[in-house]
Structure 1
């Protein structure tokens, strides 16, 4: 078919209640208001303009080449398909909701043509995210699998869906995207779960765990090894592309994953989370860790596993709509490489998550008070361990280490200007100079940086305030900060919820900062809560 990028936006709807096949009937259709084609086209244009402005400038100046009405299994209008075209080239498509229930935009891609390209309007069936069907000779055909949808499946389309609606929060006038790059998108082999898991394993093989996939091993061998360790009923693909078999029991995924990881010489923390949520998903992505998503046994999704690699949040002022999308890699070669699914809509089909955390430090067990923050830093390659299994959690942090950590997150412009006389032998000279040029570090009268000195709490307050442009939200003052050079910086740090005092209304400005403490401070600064309300000291 094609490879591109799909965006599926929020939609809460009631799928067909009685099929328009003469022999299929489900229940009485609920009353709903349908959107006209003219209104749908307006919404598509507004959406395209927002996307081109905020995330995909290639859509600027694009036009709609064709419009196609999509029906649900009841024969009612489910959506309107608009093919995007620019300079005689297909640039994806947009599917607008055909009803006033749920989001205006249900799905879109950034490249290629639409899955209904060779399907007439009267035969085009759309039932939800990447669920494309057509009607032919009185039957319903799954377009992606080229399989007949049985009458029983169609009649029970709603019975196995999660009914809980998930609410996600996105601030107005914002666009946020977090994506883990270089996660492969392997095509189905032996089974959905081992293929989706192989995407994650291969990513980590290129990011600090090379033994997971040796240079002489191909993707199919990796998938086959994982399938064996997970006890997958190995499936097959026919010459026509149809797949059969390949099921994996949920209870065997994590043990199989651990077995593979351990055999390759690594420890890993794999967990099956049967209470998935958007916030849990975001937390894994923000920590730099791809995630495995297992779907319900749905007649179109089947027992499917996909790989989560990112998320996108966008506010559309014209519709006053907030979109929260997860970015996934599927295991179907017929679908685009990157697919964006609205979490509210997709959550109805999600059964559980499998999280994979490869960062296990001897001195940072899972119950450690800063475990989440330290593994976040490791996953984002900001703060790593010593290479001997230890993170050095309680070791004091030096000023040059502080420079390295900030540099890896901020990515400032490098410079050769060197105002210091004591950093030529520092392994982090480049980082120190770039941050000084940016104004985060200051040059003292002695022209010394003191790279090996331990960073103090006052210095951390000053540096983080400058690095993240923190503002004082409340004029709360610690007893030992009155008249101190870093008083305003400490106020900014405290009033934004990044650091507390050490007791007795003191901050301890001269106290040393350990690596575990720095992981906590930096984590809070990176993930700053704009709605944080400080309490009086």
Structure 2
């Protein structure tokens, strides 16, 4: 009888655990859908209104622990955006129009370095803002032959990918003035519990970068902002590192590639980017 009760308790605990996991995943999917609908009401993101979300893709950190869920925003079978979601608290950590680095860019990288990836098991990695990687390891081997590759910062090859190719025609349809290097910027208010509200200063790029830095400074990397630094100090530094430039009328522009490199430079000086080799 005791053995039977023990078995029943074990089964009950397993059922509760499975239900909790299932409920959490449903909550994450619902939160992501709600965020997509909310963002689609803002200028520049209207094209997301009729779009659907892909199935979630698991991303891990360099310690091989779940770090994010990647949802592609799909319209007419094409990727027109993406979102990275925190699996623990459902917060949207990153989102943008166009493809994520894990789409065409990674595909082209693998094609150019195909010998390195031949017959290998691949795991997608995300270690924080601008830290996109892939873990390469031998199949049917445990703990041997592993290599982490920061594929977006491999200077040995040049990859030219138009991440906006599928969304640009849709943007033109709704009369948004889209240029070849950038999209008209828009400030969207999405408050997170541990991120301050700060108006645009020295351009959207450096200001958005400051909010990312502040978020990660309060989420496990406390050395990103020192006590003597004000918000304007950090934004001014990001302005320089991102190569942001004035375009007249009190407006500023930041190239997407320069934005990512500038943010990485800031992170590197705080020594948090050494998790990916």
TM-score, normalized by length of structure 2? 0.46
| Higher share of residues assigned helix | 2
TM-score, normalized by length of structure 1? 0.25
Q: Which structure is larger by alpha-carbon Rg, 1 or 2?
A: 1
